[in-house]
């Protein structure tokens, strides 16, 4: 079947509809065991229970003296110091009436004691300690299992692991944990004019930027990029690239170039011949031509070749797919609201993503266009802090109008 014929029949899809189709196709991947530090930022794929009480025994919350509260019903009270309870082992001493044991934070409470008086509330006098304040039984004693109890479910599948969860896993004696595995993403650039970055381009040739932008995005969003290089505009070569991606056990294939209506735009033909193609024209700018389908059971996103379009389409469509595959259930984009410094004129019914720089003012963020918004101007993305989203039904906006800006950098402020 000729993809070009289908192209014209396809309705123009809105961004949400395209994303819905992609998300309906990609599946959450299986789990893998990884060392706990490798699990940071990933989605837990098992139930984690406590193997023992934490803390294992009642212990001191302060450096001070372990005493019997009944001995200090009135302050000051004099107690005889009979020894010391260090952290890390059981104290063989028993605190009888009228005695005290010097104790360190975290040390198990010696038998007989029920309370710890901090050093600040005592005065030492030879082998005697004077307790200067009254206290209540149980003060400064941490109970066994007050953090977590043996058998307690501490973490459930789906939990996103932050530093505190990694620490908890360590506390529970887990050195490895099951998380959803990272997607393997095969990246294939296409185009007779495109050469690898280490080659000197001949007349009319350009270096392959897209493979590297996309690989960096894949890595940023938790995937493993597999760079397949550049295929020339020949159906057999693109077909061969797709087969290589399948042989590499890619979970997702991302191509760039070759999806518009030009004579050499072959990715969609290959998709149609080798797999199931659902391709569309998207109602967005930049990035109108974009193909999506499935080959050999693997979803394939055919990005447009223009570097700006390729990057924005990856953010909008590949990022959520990667996050879903890794077990995340939400993927909101960090965004701010900002006032436009420039008016926006002559829209065309598509959703526009404008590259902007952000400036903080006393009354909020202000967004200034980075200049030429052409989809080949990669440097405008280098300059951009974010993408201002101008909805389909908005035809023009005056300067000062408020817009959503999707952030392309962390704004540390």
Q: Which residues bind ligand AMP (CB under 6 A)?
A: 189, 191, 193-194, 206, 208-211, 256-260, 262, 265, 304-307, 376
Looking at 7-15, 112-120, 251-259, 352-360, which segment touches Mg ion (CB under 5 A)? 251-259
Task: State which residue, 64 or 302, has the beta carbon closest to Mg ion.
Answer: 302
Report how far apart, in Å, the C-alpha atoms of 369 and of each of 55, 92, 358 are: 56, 73, 9
CB 205, min distance to ligand AMP, A: 9
Q: In the bound complex, what is the minimum distance in angstroms from residue 290's beta carbon to ligand AMP?
A: 10
Only one of the segments 76-84, 206-214, 286-294, 299-307 lies at the binding site for Mg ion (rule: CB under 5 A); that segment is: 299-307
Helix (H, G, I), strand (E, B) or coil at 209: coil
Q: How far is the CB of 331 from Mg ion (least distance, A)?
A: 30
Nearer residue to ligand AMP within complex by CB, 7 or 71? 7
- Minimum Å distance from CB 213 to ligand AMP? 8
- The entry of ligand AMP, Mg ion, none near residue 209 (CB within 5 to 8 angstroms by kind) is ligand AMP
Binding range to Mg ion, per CB under 5 A, among 27-35, 79-87, 235-243, 301-309: 301-309
For Mg ion, the closer CB: 25 or 256: 256
Which CA distances in Å does 276 have to 2, 74, 210?
A: 13, 85, 25
- Per CB under 5 A, 64 contacts Mg ion: no
Chain length of the chain: 413
304 binds, among ligand AMP, Mg ion, none (CB under 5 to 8 A by kind): ligand AMP
Beta pairing partners, 342 = none
What's the number of CA atoms in the CB half-sphere (13 Å) around residue 413? 10
End-to-end CA distance of the chain: 54
DSSP result, 130-179: EE-S---TTTTEEPTTSSB-TT-EEE-TT-B--HHHHHHHHHTT-SEEEE
Residue 217 or 256: which CB sits closer to ligand AMP?
A: 256
Token output for 381: 């993305």
Q: Which of Mg ion, ligand AMP, none is residue 210 near (CB under 5 to 8 Å by kind)? A: ligand AMP
307 binds, among ligand AMP, Mg ion, none (CB under 5 to 8 A by kind): ligand AMP
Q: Which helix (H) or strand (E) holds 250?
A: none
Residues 6 or more apart whose CB falls under 8 angstroms from that of 129 comprise: 65, 78, 79, 80, 81, 100, 122, 123
Binding range to Mg ion, per CB under 5 A, among 153-161, 210-218, 277-285, 304-312: 304-312
- Is residue 257 a contact residue for Mg ion (CB under 5 A)? yes
Examine residue 191 and tell whether it contacts Mg ion (CB under 5 A): yes
Q: Which is nearer to Mg ion, 191 or 241 (CB)?
A: 191
Give min distance, CB of 189 to ligand AMP, in A: 4
For the chain, how long is the longest CA-to-CA vector? 98
Partner in contact with 325, chosen from ligand AMP, Mg ion, none, beta carbon below 5 to 8 Å by kind = none
Rounded Cα distance, 176 and 194, in Å: 43
CA pair distance 367, 81, nearest whole angstrom: 69
Q: Name the 3-class secondary structure at 154.
A: strand
Pairing type for strands 128-131 and 122-125 reads: antiparallel
Query: For residues 214 and 408, which CB has a smaller minimum distance to ligand AMP in the complex?
Result: 214
Q: In whole angstroms, how close is the CB of 302 to ligand AMP at the nearest point?
A: 9
| Chain-centroid distance, C-alpha 405 | 20
**Partners of residue 54 on adjacent β-strands:** 148
Measured from the CB atom, the residue of 25 and 309 that comes closer to Mg ion is: 309
Is residue 26 within 8 Å of 321, Cβ to Cβ? Answer: yes
Question: Which positions touch Mg ion (CB under 5 A)?
Answer: 191, 257-258, 305
């Amino acid at each position: 079947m000729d993809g070009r014929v289908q192209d014209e029949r396809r309705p123009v899809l809105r961004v949400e509809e395209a994303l819905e189709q992609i998300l309906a196709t990609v599946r959450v991947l299986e789990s893998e065991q990884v060392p706990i530090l490798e699990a940071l930022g990933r989605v837990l794929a098992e139930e984690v229970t406590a193997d023992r009480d934490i803390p294992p025994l009642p212990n001191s919350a302060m450096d001070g003296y372990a005493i019997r509260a009944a001995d200090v019903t009135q302050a000051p009270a004099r107690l005889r110091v009979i020894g010391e309870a260090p952290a890390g082992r059981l104290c063989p001493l028993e605190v009888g009436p009228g005695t005290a044991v010097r104790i360190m934070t975290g040390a198990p409470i010696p038998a007989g004691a029920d309370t710890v008086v901090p050093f600040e509330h005592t005065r030492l006098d030879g082998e005697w300690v004077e307790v200067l304040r009254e206290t209540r039984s149980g003060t400064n004693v941490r109970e066994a299992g007050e953090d977590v109890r043996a058998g307690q479910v501490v973490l459930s599948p789906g939990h996103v692991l932050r530093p505190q969860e990694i620490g908890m896993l360590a506390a529970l004696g887990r050195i490895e944990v099951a998380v959803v595995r990272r997607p393997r993403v095969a990246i294939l650039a296409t185009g007779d004019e495109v050469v690898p970055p280490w080659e000197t381009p001949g007349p009319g040739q350009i270096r392959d930027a897209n493979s590297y932008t996309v690989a960096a995005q894949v890595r940023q969003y938790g995937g493993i990029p597999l760079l397949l290089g550049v295929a020339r505009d020949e159906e057999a070569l693109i077909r061969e690239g797709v087969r290589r991606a399948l042989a590499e056990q890619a979970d997702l294939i991302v191509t760039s170039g070759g999806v518009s209506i030009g004579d050499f735009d072959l990715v969609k033909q290959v998709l149609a011949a080798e797999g199931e193609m659902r391709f569309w024209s998207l109602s967005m700018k930049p990035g109108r031509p974009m193909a999506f389908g499935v080959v050999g059971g693997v979803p394939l996103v055919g990005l447009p070749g223009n570097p700006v379009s390729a990057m924005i389409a990856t953010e909008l469509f590949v990022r959520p797919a990667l996050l879903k595959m890794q077990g995340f259930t939400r993927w909101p984009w960090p965004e701010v609201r900002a006032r436009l410094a420039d008016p926006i004129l002559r829209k065309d019914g598509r959703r526009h993503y404008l590259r902007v720089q952000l400036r903080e003012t006393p009354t909020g963020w202000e967004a200034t266009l980075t200049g030429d918004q052409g989809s080949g101007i990669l440097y405008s993305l280098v300059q951009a802090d974010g993408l201002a989203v101008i909805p389909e039904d908005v035809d023009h906006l005056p300067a000062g109008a408020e817009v959503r800006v999707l952030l392309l950098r962390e704004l540390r402020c």
